[in-house]
Amino acid sequence: MKKLAKDHKVHKNSFFLLVTQVLDNLIENPYPRNSRQEPFPKTSKLPEGWTFHKLELKFGQGASGQIRLMYLVNTSKSVIKLVWIYSHKQFTKRPDDKDLRSVIQQILED
Protein backbone atom coordinates (compact mmCIF):
# COMPACT_ATOMS: atom_id res chain seq x y z
CA MET A 1 0.00 0.00 0.00
CA LYS A 2 2.94 2.32 0.58
CA LYS A 3 3.90 1.99 -3.10
CA LEU A 4 0.35 2.77 -4.21
CA ALA A 5 0.26 5.88 -2.02
CA LYS A 6 3.63 6.99 -3.42
CA ASP A 7 2.57 6.30 -7.03
CA HIS A 8 -0.55 8.40 -6.58
CA LYS A 9 1.41 11.22 -4.93
CA VAL A 10 -0.82 11.36 -1.91
CA HIS A 11 -0.02 11.47 1.73
CA LYS A 12 0.36 7.94 3.02
CA ASN A 13 -2.07 8.53 5.89
CA SER A 14 -4.88 9.75 3.62
CA PHE A 15 -4.44 6.71 1.38
CA PHE A 16 -4.49 4.34 4.37
CA LEU A 17 -7.57 6.15 5.68
CA LEU A 18 -9.35 5.64 2.34
CA VAL A 19 -8.51 1.92 2.33
CA THR A 20 -9.62 1.59 5.96
CA GLN A 21 -12.95 3.29 5.16
CA VAL A 22 -13.47 1.01 2.16
CA LEU A 23 -12.80 -2.07 4.28
CA ASP A 24 -15.18 -0.80 6.99
CA ASN A 25 -17.86 -0.27 4.33
CA LEU A 26 -17.34 -3.81 3.03
CA ILE A 27 -18.25 -5.11 6.48
CA GLU A 28 -21.64 -3.43 6.15
CA ASN A 29 -22.10 -4.22 2.45
CA PRO A 30 -19.71 -6.79 0.93
CA TYR A 31 -21.20 -6.24 -2.55
CA PRO A 32 -21.19 -2.49 -3.30
CA ARG A 33 -22.15 -1.14 -6.76
CA ASN A 34 -18.51 -0.58 -7.73
CA SER A 35 -17.64 -4.24 -7.14
CA ARG A 36 -18.20 -7.33 -9.20
CA GLN A 37 -17.73 -11.03 -8.80
CA GLU A 38 -14.38 -11.97 -10.27
CA PRO A 39 -13.57 -15.25 -12.05
CA PHE A 40 -11.45 -17.47 -9.87
CA PRO A 41 -7.96 -18.34 -11.18
CA LYS A 42 -8.00 -21.14 -13.75
CA THR A 43 -7.49 -24.72 -12.60
CA SER A 44 -8.60 -23.77 -9.09
CA LYS A 45 -11.82 -23.89 -7.17
CA LEU A 46 -12.92 -21.90 -4.15
CA PRO A 47 -14.12 -23.84 -1.13
CA GLU A 48 -17.89 -23.95 -0.74
CA GLY A 49 -19.38 -20.75 0.64
CA TRP A 50 -16.64 -18.41 -0.66
CA THR A 51 -16.93 -15.89 -3.49
CA PHE A 52 -14.18 -13.79 -5.10
CA HIS A 53 -14.72 -10.09 -5.87
CA LYS A 54 -12.98 -7.02 -7.26
CA LEU A 55 -13.78 -3.50 -6.10
CA GLU A 56 -12.77 -0.51 -8.23
CA LEU A 57 -11.88 2.74 -6.47
CA LYS A 58 -11.17 6.12 -8.04
CA PHE A 59 -8.21 7.79 -6.39
CA GLY A 60 -7.04 9.94 -9.26
CA GLN A 61 -7.74 10.77 -12.88
CA GLY A 62 -7.91 8.30 -15.74
CA ALA A 63 -7.21 4.59 -15.70
CA SER A 64 -3.98 5.07 -13.76
CA GLY A 65 -5.97 6.68 -10.95
CA GLN A 66 -7.98 3.54 -10.36
CA ILE A 67 -7.20 1.28 -7.46
CA ARG A 68 -8.49 -2.28 -7.44
CA LEU A 69 -9.10 -4.25 -4.30
CA MET A 70 -9.64 -8.00 -4.59
CA TYR A 71 -11.27 -9.83 -1.72
CA LEU A 72 -12.98 -13.04 -0.66
CA VAL A 73 -16.39 -13.20 1.01
CA ASN A 74 -17.99 -15.96 3.04
CA THR A 75 -21.42 -14.67 4.04
CA SER A 76 -22.36 -17.74 6.10
CA LYS A 77 -19.30 -17.16 8.33
CA SER A 78 -19.51 -13.34 8.06
CA VAL A 79 -15.88 -13.17 6.87
CA ILE A 80 -14.19 -10.87 4.37
CA LYS A 81 -10.53 -11.43 3.51
CA LEU A 82 -8.44 -8.93 1.59
CA VAL A 83 -6.53 -10.65 -1.24
CA TRP A 84 -4.77 -7.93 -3.26
CA ILE A 85 -4.75 -4.17 -3.69
CA TYR A 86 -3.16 -2.75 -6.82
CA SER A 87 -3.25 0.02 -9.39
CA HIS A 88 -3.78 -0.03 -13.14
CA LYS A 89 -0.12 0.96 -13.44
CA GLN A 90 0.95 -2.22 -11.63
CA PHE A 91 -1.44 -4.56 -13.47
CA THR A 92 -3.58 -3.47 -16.42
CA LYS A 93 -6.03 -6.33 -15.90
CA ARG A 94 -5.23 -8.19 -12.68
CA PRO A 95 -2.35 -10.09 -11.08
CA ASP A 96 -1.29 -13.35 -12.71
CA ASP A 97 -3.55 -16.33 -11.93
CA LYS A 98 -0.61 -18.29 -10.51
CA ASP A 99 0.17 -15.50 -8.05
CA LEU A 100 -3.49 -15.03 -7.14
CA ARG A 101 -3.93 -18.75 -6.57
CA SER A 102 -0.92 -18.83 -4.25
CA VAL A 103 -2.05 -15.81 -2.22
CA ILE A 104 -5.63 -17.08 -1.92
CA GLN A 105 -4.42 -20.51 -0.83
CA GLN A 106 -2.31 -18.92 1.93
CA ILE A 107 -5.22 -16.72 3.05
CA LEU A 108 -7.66 -19.61 3.25
CA GLU A 109 -5.19 -21.78 5.19
CA ASP A 110 -4.79 -19.13 7.92
| DSSP conformational letter for 23 | H
With 70 as the cut, is the pLDDT of residue 50 above it? yes
Share of the chain above pLDDT 70, in %: 82
Question: Do 46 and 53 meet the contact criterion of CB atoms below 8 Å apart?
Answer: no
d(CA 44, CA 10): 37
Question: 21-47, pLDDT tens digit by residue?
Answer: 888 888 889 999 989 998 888 878 888
Please name the residue ranges forming H helices in 32-96: none
Domains of the chain as residue ranges with CATH: 2-109 (3.30.2310)
